[in-house]
Amino acid sequence: MIIVLDFGGQYNQLIARRVREANVYCEVHPCTLSIDKIKEMAPKGIILTGGPNSVYDPASPHCDKALFELGIPVLGICYGAQLMAWMLGGRVETAPVSEYGRTDIQISRNGRLFGSVSENTVGWMSHTDYISEPPAGFIVTAKTDVCPAAAIEDDGREFYAVQFHPEVTHTEEGGKILSAFVKGPCGCSGSWKMDDFVEQTIREIRKKVGSGKALCALSGGVDSSVAAVLMSKAIGRQLTCVFVDHGLLRKGEADGVDRVFGPDGPYDLNFVHVDAHERFYAKLEGVAEPEEKRKIIGEEFIRVFEEEAKKIGAVDYLVQGTIYPDVIESGLGDSAVIKSHHNVGGLPDHVDFKEIIEPLRMLFKDEVRAAGLELGIPEELVYRQPFPGPGLGIRIIGAVTPEKVRIVQEADAIYREEIANAGLDRELNQYFAALSNMRSVGVMGDFRTYDYAVMLRAVKTSDFMTAEAAEIPWDVQQKIMNRIVNEVDGVNRVLYDLTSKPPGTIEME
């Protein structure tokens, strides 16, 4: 295992993602993780992440200096590199010029991390401070025109630091650098596979639950479906799966979930279908603020589950399909909150269960799919379109109404149908229709209209933490637009969202 200590950078989970691409298991923990806990976990290596602070600011997050006395290889990235240098006696100060974005880096051949990296490569920089004087025992292994110590190493103590971000795709050979660290100084074999995760997780669930009962929040999406089957493999009929139709699902979604997971489906689940759409609509009436909508949906989900649990009898555990991007975006350690996911930051303070089990909490989306295939779940379910827990509530800008839900359902069904007809459904990682809060003048036939604008979104991504807008052929877009405008009442305009992530998020809210 490699431990990543989080110092507040927003995309620190990408470090774990890149390490796992080298088939080495990796977990992210807050920088406040105690030395005793680190010893107990016995990692092969430790990575210190980036962050927004200055190490010389007394209020900035630091780690225990004993970390550097454990005899474990340590890699510092950006803020983590500066922190290592600062705590070991080097100097860190404000750079004469801030570096941000793709930067040319000159590599020294005496660096252990750079043996397979080009002498002149490109790295992604994002800093205003820099290491002006490395600590004793370190050598400089890379530099830029601005940063005289873009990378430093003390190979004797197995301490390594890079000012740039090898975890992002903009760093051309970043994967090689991270792989060199985990397979070099750390001595990891690179043999971790998804079947290891599945087997280990099933053992851990059995041990935790024992003879208790668990209630799974099953939405029918990829994440909750994999979580449900994983739990079922572990504890069998001790699991009850509750599907809540909050009235914010895609067209035909509820019927589809019933077919797959209901009593006539292929899985031996205690399946309960709860129709709660009127309850959710009432709670959401007039609410336009995105975070407030998420919080309301999250709390109402929990209340429904609590009520169903009481009907079943004593239930000890609530199971959710939370995945790693949900955890990170909802805030980990000192990281900023992008948006509260209903199954993470959207939970109410009091939950009437002994504990929440999130068996997929440490997995990225593609890893969840791999786990699903390992569990024997059919490809058509494993590769279905991702769908957020709050559903269409966060694909409708502004207040939610039954009429707006109808519009999004109809437009989205057309969009998905035409994408599939064009053979693009497996090329795009996520695509959906959303409803703007904008109404504009149009003309249909000889009549003036004043209706809504539907927004289409399609992205390509491997980890769902960064994404690029997909290029959909113009003729396909035109066909989709014509069908939506002509077939969906209340719509007279269709827009395509070109925004990448960052600066946008994949969902609208």
Residues annotated as catalytic (active site), given as ranges: 78, 165, 167
Whether the link from the prior residue into 502 is cis, omega within 30° of 0, is yes
Q: How far is CA 242 from CA 178, 222, 274, 387, in A?
A: 41, 15, 7, 17
**What backbone torsions phi and psi does residue 306 show, to the nearest 5 degrees?**
-60, -40
DSSP E strand stretches across 317-377: 317-319, 355-357
At 466, list the tokens.
Answer: 């960064």
d(CA 243, CA 160): 49
Question: CB burial class (10 A; 0-12, 13-18, 19+) of residue 218?
Answer: buried
- 8-state DSSP, 163: S
At 487, list the tokens.
Answer: 């077939």
Name the H helices within 164-272: 174-183, 194-209, 222-235, 253-261
CA pseudo-torsion sign 305, 310, 312, 313: positive
In angstroms and rounded to an integer, the radius of gyration of the C-alpha atoms of the chain is 25
With tokens 């786990």, the residue in question is 371
Q: Which residues contact residue 186 at a Cβ distance below 8 angstroms, ignoring those fewer than 6 apart?
A: 2, 24, 44, 45, 73
Amino acid at 278: E
d(CA 148, CA 101): 17
Amino acid at 248: L
d(CA 373, CA 318): 24
Q: Can you spell out the DSSP letters for 388-405?
A: -TTGGGGSBSSS--HHHH
At 332, list the tokens.
Answer: 């980990």
Q: Nearest 5 degrees, angle CA 247-CA 251-CA 254? A: 60
For residue 385, the Cα-to-chain-centroid distance in whole angstroms is 15
